[in-house]
Structure 1
Amino acid sequence: MLRRKPTRLELKLDDIEEFEGVRKDLEVRAAAGEEAAAAAAAATALALGTEHKSREQLVNERIGYKPQPKAGGRAAHFGTFEF
């Protein structure tokens, strides 16, 4: 493989102006996307109403899995003995 000298890159005023224009355009698009996402989330929350379920609960219902509640506290760890 032949080696060559590094190429020198020069930053021109036109390049800087083009970069700033593209960056502003992306910021405007991102802001519009965030507003649309917030509106969609609000609409989804209204549609779900009081029956809001987590993703895990929806999947469990779909596959027919009914998890048993876990017993908490020390008594569950040591049988019926209480300390």
Structure 2
Amino acid sequence: MLRRKPTRLELKLDDIEEFESIRKDLENRKKQHEEVDLVGANNVDGAVALSSDSKSREQMIHDRIGYKPQPKPNSHTAQFGNFEF
């Protein structure tokens, strides 16, 4: 492995301003997220109902990821076509 001399990094005013703006954006998002969590925590009955109903939870997950399951046919003719046994 080749060794080289360390490079010098300089902190510029533009870099500091960019860092501050990104930090403020992240703090604002965090505050908004906490506010949403607080509103959801105040509605305890709704949270219990959502956690106990697994179908609605499953449906919420499917909606979030964009999964739309197709119902499976239960008849044998649908599975095997028009074959008769």
Q: Which TM-score band applies after superposition, normalised by the shorter structure? A: 0.5 to 0.7
Higher relative contact order (CA 8 A, sep 6+): 1
Q: Percent identity?
A: 59
Task: Provide the residue aligned with 1:9 in structure 2.
Answer: 9
Unaligned segments of structure 1, at least 5 residues: 50-57, 59-83
Alpha-carbon RMSD across the aligned residues, in angstroms, is 1.9
Question: Which has more radius of gyration?
Answer: 1
SS for the counterpart of 1:10 is: coil
User: What is the TM-score of this pair, normalised by structure 2?
Assistant: 0.52
Alignment coverage as a number of residue pairs: 49
User: What is the TM-score of this pair, normalised by structure 1?
Assistant: 0.54
Equivalence map 1:20-59=2 (5 Å): 20-43=20-43, 45-47=44-46
Q: Greater helix share, 1 or 2?
A: 2
**C-alpha deviation, 1:42, in angstroms:** 1.1
CA distance in 1, matches of 2:12, 2:3: 27
Task: Provide the residue aligned with 2:19 in structure 1.
Answer: 19
